[in-house]
Amino acid sequence: MEDLVESILDYVRSDYTDYAIMINGEWGSGKTYFWNNKIRKKIESMQLNGKRFTTIYMSLYGISNLEEISKKIFIETTQLMDKNLRKFMDANGQTTIPEYAKTGIDMANFFGVTQNGDRIDYADFFSTDDKVLCFDDLERANVDVIDILGYINNFVEHDHIKTIIICNEKELATKLKSSNLEMKTFIATYLLDKQDELNKKDKPIVEKIQDKIEHVFDKANDYDRIKEKLIGETFEYAPKFDYIINGILMRYENNPDLIRFLRENTNLIISTFNKSGTRNLRILKHALNDFKKVYEMVNDNYPNMNNRVMQTMLIFTIAVSFEIKAGKITKDKFMNIKDNEEYKSILVSSRTLMDNRQFYIKEFDSNYYYNFKAEYRFFKFIEYYVRTRIFDMKLFKTDMETIRNTVDTENLPAYKRLLTEEYWKISDDQFGGVIQEIIEDLKEGNLKLIDIVKLYAYFSYFSKKGLIEYDIKTLKNIFFTGMNLASLKSEYCPNPNEELGKVAIDEIEDDMEDILKHFDTLNNQLLDKMYKEKADEIMKCIPMKMEQFYEKFDKECMTIPIFKYYDPFQLFQRISCASNEDIVLIKEKLLDRANKHKNEIEPEMKNIKQLKQITDDYLNGKSPSIKIVMLKDFSKDLGRILDMYKPSLFGGKKEETTTPAPASTST
């Protein structure tokens, strides 16, 4: 880094130059910090022919026209010109006004400050050999880069002012190619059409348009030509990050505990930064600022937190910041992971890779936690904070309570150790105790139904490998009993295949079939129980809370056979007490639902048939009234719904299709 500084100072010291120099580096890599803290101060401390150098720094970020650059130079120099200009030029034998001075004069006239010339030191203003211009963020200007470089060339070629340009050439190249792309595409297509090239089949049309755009609008070549003329040397900025990171940490000196922790873990910071694959120090600054919030909240609410956990939080905060803010991933990769247990379950699952997210999480973990062992590696409150900028206290407390209870694996339930850790990480002297504790939990029905199925895969594997003394028959008896007890407390599992895919056993034994069949039976019973509870909850809204009924029915019951789980006689009593308008709305909803979701709701048709029969029995012999008429219409529409399922309903023979099914083909 000192060699780079010295090379730049050599350029400034040179007696005569007709070129600028460029400092090239990635966004956020600290180029501006390098200018302010390593270059500018040294330049301003130098003297040339008895004169001290003056640096003039201008960021081109957001500049929309060249006049704005002139204004910036004027504001930076604060030089004011007036009518005595000619007297000064004559007295000093000055025949032309330097380009640099023109900028100041134009801006002085623009601002109307040319009246009081006695206070202007024109000698100082016309002097260009002690000025150093620095133009930063070239690629972020909203002006054509070619025009900006031509503008800067006036200072360099005509006035020989030392000029330094700071930019990210990689982003500059992208900008040159992508600017006004729609307009370029339109013109390229128009030219190809005029040249009768669009209809030729010699190459794809997209490739033709791209070639024509490059031929007509080759800004990259223009840039290369003017750069060759203007830029004498290009220096690649590759900073020593340990030095820069040390400077970043200085901002936390007013927090002794935090600065001590960060300094003690500087190697972790640098290592995680390097693993991010970027050179963006700006993201690192933001990440450390986020960690400051995390560190203070943990210290305030959970003092004496395990140091290893704090180190892991530091790694995770930096890693997630780079993954999200550097645009490497979409935010939903982390969004749907609810806690550390699910994160670890994804890591240990080896049988089935469900989606790209699973590949990504495994790569994320192996990259950032390589050679760093920690049982708790995912912090939902940190991920949420980085992603949304909201520090959710509820998530924070949930995570921290779990950490406090599980950071020591001795306090982690045995079944969770087996399901969330690689089983080979359990030491031999602990393994027997883990197995026995799980057996006791099974016998007492303390586990979730789906967890018991996953545990059986492990136990079956252990039995075959001779790691436990239980034979398969004994294991099945224990697990069947445990499943029966668990079904009394468990909830329905909607995604058993996904859950079973998290089992970290490559060799799933054949004896799983009986366990899986029993699980399906019990899980279906739980589904029925869940639907029955839902039916009770929704139907009780009739007739007094009809708005709630409509909302819940529309959201939750359109594709499930909810009437299968509610007594038809009770349902008729409720409907018959409803208003005439509600009776009409209910029948319309039922008819529309049957038209759209016929197959999904077929299991409820037996109860619908009973409901129609109960309604008809009630209407038999009744004198006409509006409600009686509405109920008759209700019964008719129930009949229409039932007709949709004839003759297949209730065991009848299905109608044969007139169009034969297509023969299967193999590809």
CA distance 410 to 400: 17
Mean pLDDT of the chain: 81
Summarize pLDDT for 189-232 with one digit per residue, the tens. 766 776 777 777 777 777 777 676 666 555 555 667 777 778 88
Which DSSP category does 157 fall into?
Answer: I
Quick one: which of 491, 413, 499 has its CA closest to 456?
Answer: 499
Q: Residue 582's pLDDT is what?
A: 95
Bond from prior residue into 204 cis (ω within 30 degrees of 0): no
Summarize pLDDT for 4-59 with one digit per residue, the tens. 888 888 888 887 788 888 988 877 677 887 888 888 888 888 877 777 888 888 88
The set of residues, in sequence order, having a beta carbon less than 8 Å from that of 219 and lying 6+ positions away, is: 145, 146, 176, 177, 179
Q: Is the pLDDT of residue 511 over 60?
A: yes
Q: Residue 566's pLDDT is what?
A: 95
Assess contact for 456 and 503: CB atoms under 8 A: no
Per-residue tokens: 304: 């004496």
* DSSP three-state, residue 659: coil
Assess contact for 583 and 575: CB atoms under 8 A: yes
Classify the C-alpha dihedral 472-473-479-482 as positive or negative. negative
Q: Is the pLDDT of residue 181 over 70?
A: no
425 confidence band (pLDDT: 50, 70, 90): confident
Summarize pLDDT for 402-419 with one digit per residue, the tens. 887 766 555 568 888 788
Percent of the chain residues topping a pLDDT of 70 = 77
CA distance 532 to 527: 8
- Three-state SS string over 595-621 comes to HHCCCCCHHHHHHHHHHHHHHHHHHCC
CA dihedral 232, 238, 239, 245 (to 10 degrees): 140
**What b/e readout covers 622-632, taking b as 16+ CB neighbours within 10 angstroms?**
eeeeeeeebbe
Q: Is the pLDDT of residue 528 over 90?
A: yes
CA distance 313 to 392: 16
CA distance 439 to 443: 6
- Least confident residue range of 75-79, 192-196, 267-271, 341-345: 75-79
Other C-beta atoms lying within 10 Å of the C-beta of residue 349: 20
Q: Residue 662's pLDDT is what?
A: 41
How distant is the alpha carbon of residue 108 from its chain centre?
A: 49
Task: Please tell me the pTM assigned to this model.
Answer: 0.46
Per-residue tokens: 485: 């007890």
Strand partners, 22: 165, 234
Greater pLDDT, 280 or 96: 280
118 confidence band (pLDDT: 50, 70, 90): very low
Summarize pLDDT for 437-488 with one digit per residue, the tens. 999 999 998 899 999 999 998 999 899 889 999 999 999 999 999 999 999 9
Summarize pLDDT for 240-267 with one digit per residue, the tens. 666 677 778 888 888 999 999 998 898 8
- Taking residues 342-362, what's their average pLDDT? 69
101 confidence band (pLDDT: 50, 70, 90): low
Per-residue tokens: 352: 């089935």
Q: Is the pLDDT of residue 635 over 50?
A: yes
Q: Is the pLDDT of residue 91 over 70?
A: no
- Taking residues 99-112, what's their average pLDDT? 57
Q: Is the pLDDT of residue 110 over 60?
A: no
The helix (run of H) or strand (run of E) holding residue 294 is helix 281-301
How distant is the alpha carbon of residue 566 from its chain centre?
A: 44
Q: Is the pLDDT of residue 349 over 80?
A: no
CA distance 408 to 155: 67
